């Protein structure tokens, strides 16, 4: 209003007190009140960037392992399922349980509970890391042999495993700390840490694996050591940030006491979620065992294709893990309808994104295969696998996204059972194909059909599962 306009308003003298200033509205949490799609994409963007760096690591690692020979490449195909098991279990399964618990506590405006959950989550991560270390050091060689590892292929797999799983506590701590930050909605710092780790992983792994200057060639053991060195840097940065009090969640050990309810809040989601990556790895392991019967070249070709599958489904991970704090806070605030809309939005984005890239590489598999090998037999096997499986990766993307969304709602058993159904289908189908003298192409088609089954069952599980908060009022949207 201009000064002239203000002067024209008459002033009335009264004995009444001046009106109180307007009360400001409550603080708006963008994760709880913002538009769903744009907020989801904003949270997912740093994850996509970080996982793109992870893709570069996968390409670089497979590339310089390929330089060591076909046997190390085949050995990596044996070890890879167990590496993925630990990384997805720590980052996605138990990590998702941590994100969900932290987000639900913050959604209910209980910062003190969130801080207590953080310390309990770290202890869970250390215990699981020690379990993986002991288990793989003792049983790893037997598992690789059971999968068909022989001669140099087996010795290379054991060498990598001894180093990597000997330091298994490091990846578990790193992913647990990242989950604590993601639970607050902070996706940028964990993504920056992954970028940092990716750079050093390529640098250290390449130098120690292939040798450079005065550094001798340590082969597969050097590649594994470089990975652990890179992870240790990420652990140090995130631990400093959480201990400094800069995060919404405080990692405070003073006055700490064990509380069963805190462990339960994390494990009711995280422990059940761990069955999903376990079943994924069992599925991959079964395929690995079946395809080992067709020779080293087919096994190596499948390993290259599986790397692309992991890379593309990481897009679904980026979107899905971004949905967890949004859904967790909505559930904590009693806004169930919003939580469901977030889940279906994330599932749709993942289906389209993963399906688009999968279809592209199905039509142009050489763009990926040429990076890793010039062996004609390996190229042919990988080319065929990607051509068949590529278009159906969209269903895996949908299932992964809905799996994470269900973690946010603390209702994860449905998507986990969808993985169980896929595993049973692959086991039964694989047995039938083997008994009928099938060729490797038939097993690739079995993988494709199992992906469709997984996606449809996961969607049905979310559709028919009650997401109502236990003992909490449901707020109107």
Percent of all residues in the chain with a pLDDT value above 90, rounded to a whole number: 35
The answer to whether residue 264 is domain-embedded is no
pLDDT of residue 471: 36
Same domain for 331 and 413?
Answer: yes
Distance CA 37, CA 302 (A): 36
- Same domain for 170 and 305, yes or no, is no
How many C-beta atoms surround the C-beta of residue 218 within 10 A? 18
Indicate the residue among 258, 292, 310 that finishes a domain: 258
Contacts of 355 (CB under 8 A, 6+ apart): 391, 393, 394, 397
Question: Does the residue 4 lie in any domain?
Answer: no
More confident: 239 or 53: 239
pLDDT at 185 over 70: yes
- Is the pLDDT reported for residue 9 higher than 80? no
Residue 21 located in a structural domain: no
Number of independent structural domains in the chain: 2
Do 278 and 251 belong together in one domain?
A: no
User: Residue 431: inside a domain, yes or no?
Assistant: yes
Q: What is the pLDDT of residue 477?
A: 52
* 472: in domain: no
221 & 109 share domain: yes
pLDDT value at residue 80 = 81
Q: Where are the beta strands (DSSP E) in 278-413?
A: none
> According to the model, what pLDDT value does residue 150 have?
84
Considering the domain architecture, whether residues 299 and 248 belong to the same structural domain is answered as no
pLDDT score recorded for residue 24 = 46
* Exposure string for 311-329, b = 16+ CB within 10 A, e = fewer: bbbbbbbbbbbbbbbbbbb
For residue range 158-177, what is the model confidence (pLDDT) as tens digits? Answer: 999 999 999 999 999 999 99
Verify that 136 and 159 share a domain, yes or no. Answer: yes
Q: Both 278 and 391 in a single domain?
A: yes
With residue 205 as reference, give the H or E element that holds it.
helix 188-210
Strands in 201-335 per DSSP E: none
Mean pLDDT to the nearest integer, 89-101 = 88
What value does the mean pLDDT take over residues 249-256?
77
pLDDT at 25: 46
Pair 294, 442 in one domain:
yes
Query: Whole-angstrom Cα distance, residue 185 to residue 182?
Result: 5
The answer for residues whose C-beta is within 8 angstroms of residue 78's C-beta and 6 or more apart is 144, 147, 148, 149, 153, 154, 157, 288
Residues 163 and 212 in one domain: yes
User: Is residue 139 situated within a structural domain?
Assistant: yes
Residue 453, pLDDT above cutoff 50: yes
Lowest mean pLDDT across 129-138, 253-262, 273-282, 327-336: 253-262
pLDDT digits (tens, 9 = 90+) for 20-30: 444 444 446 77
Find out whether 170 and 231 touch, Cβ atoms under 8 Å.
Answer: yes
Whether residue 319 sits in one domain with residue 216: no
pTM of the model: 0.76
C-alpha separations of 30 from 33, 330, 420 in Å: 5, 11, 36
**End-to-end C-alpha distance for the chain, whole angstroms:** 37
69 lies in some domain: yes
330 and 212 share one domain = no
Q: Which of 65-79, 119-133, 441-455 has the lowest mean pLDDT?
A: 65-79
Instruction: Encode pLDDT of 288-308 as tens digits.
Output: 788 877 887 888 888 788 778
Q: Which of 258, 288, 315 is the last residue of a domain?
A: 258
Q: What is the pLDDT of residue 28?
A: 64
Give the per-residue pLDDT at 10: 43
Instruction: Quote the domain boundaries for residue 352.
Output: 272-466
Q: 184 and 280: one domain?
A: no
Query: Which pLDDT belongs to residue 11?
Result: 40
Among the ranges given (176-180, 281-285, 315-319, 395-399), the one the predictor scored with the smallest mean pLDDT: 281-285
Q: Is the pLDDT of residue 5 over 60?
A: no
Whole-number Å distance between alpha carbons of 389 and 420 = 20
**Rounded distance, CA 182 to CA 186, Å?**
5
Placement of tokens 């997984």 in the chain: 454
Phi, then psi, of 462 in degrees rounded to 5: -70, -40
- Quick check: is 267 in a domain? no
pLDDT of residue 452: 96
The full DSSP string for 379-432 is: HHHHHHHHHHHGGGHHHHHHHHHHHHHHHHTT--HHHHHHHHHHHHHHHHHHHH
- Paired tokens of 110: 């209980």
- Count CB-CB contacts under 10 A for residue 27: 7
For the record, the structure tokens of 283 come out as 């599925």
């Amino acid at each position: 209003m201009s000064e002239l306009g203000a002067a024209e308003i008459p002033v009335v003298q009264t004995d009444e007190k001046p009106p109180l200033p307007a009360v400001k509205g409550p603080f708006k949490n963008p994760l709880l009140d913002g538009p769903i799609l744009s907020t989801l994409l904003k949270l997912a963007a740093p994850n996509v960037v970080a996982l793109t760096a992870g893709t570069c690591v996968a390409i670089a690692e497979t590339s310089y392992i390929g330089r060591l020979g076909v046997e190390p490449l085949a050995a990596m195909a044996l070890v890879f399922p167990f590496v993925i098991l630990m990384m997805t279990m720590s980052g996605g399964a138990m990590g998702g349980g941590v994100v969900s618990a932290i987000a639900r506590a913050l959604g209910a405006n209980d910062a003190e509970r969130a801080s207590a959950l953080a310390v309990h989550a770290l202890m869970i991560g250390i215990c699981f890391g020690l379990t993986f270390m002991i288990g793989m050091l003792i049983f790893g060689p037997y598992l690789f042999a059971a999968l068909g590892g022989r001669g140099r292929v087996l010795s290379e797999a054991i060498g990598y495993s001894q180093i990597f799983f000997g330091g298994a506590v490091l990846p578990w701590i790193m992913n647990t700390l990242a989950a604590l930050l993601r639970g607050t909605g902070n996706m940028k710092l964990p993504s920056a840490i992954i970028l940092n780790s990716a750079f050093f992983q390529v640098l250290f792994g390449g130098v120690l694996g292939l040798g450079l200057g005065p550094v001798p060639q340590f082969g597969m053991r050097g590649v594994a050591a470089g990975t652990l060195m890179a992870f240790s840097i990420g652990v140090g940065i995130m631990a400093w940030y959480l201990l400094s009090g800069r995060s919404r969640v405080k990692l405070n050990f003073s006055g700490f006491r064990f509380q069963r309810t805190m462990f339960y809040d994390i494990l009711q989601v995280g422990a059940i979620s761990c069955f999903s990556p376990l079943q994924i790895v069992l599925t991959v392991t079964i395929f690995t065992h079946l395809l080992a019967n067709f020779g080293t070249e087919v096994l190596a070709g499948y390993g290259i294709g599986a790397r692309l599958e992991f890379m593309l489904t990481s897009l679904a991970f980026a979107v899905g893990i971004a949905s967890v704090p949004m859904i967790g806070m909505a559930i904590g605030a009693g806004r169930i309808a919003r939580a469901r809309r977030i889940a279906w939005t994330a599932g749709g984005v993942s289906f389209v994104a993963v399906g688009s890239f999968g279809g592209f590489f199905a039509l142009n598999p050489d763009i990926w295969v040429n990076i890793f090998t010039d062996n004609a037999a390996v190229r042919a096997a990988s080319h065929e696998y990607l051509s068949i499986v590529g278009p159906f990766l969209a269903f895996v993307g949908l299932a992964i996204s809905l799996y994470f969304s269900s973690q946010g709602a603390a209702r994860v058993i449905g998507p986990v059972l969808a993985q169980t159904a896929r595993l049973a289908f692959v086991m039964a189908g694989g047995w039938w194909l083997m008994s009928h003298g099938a060729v490797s192409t038939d097993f690739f088609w079995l993988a494709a059909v199992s992906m469709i089954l997984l996606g449809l069952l996961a969607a049905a599980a979310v559709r028919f599962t009650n997401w109502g908060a236990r003992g909490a009022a449901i707020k109107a949207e």
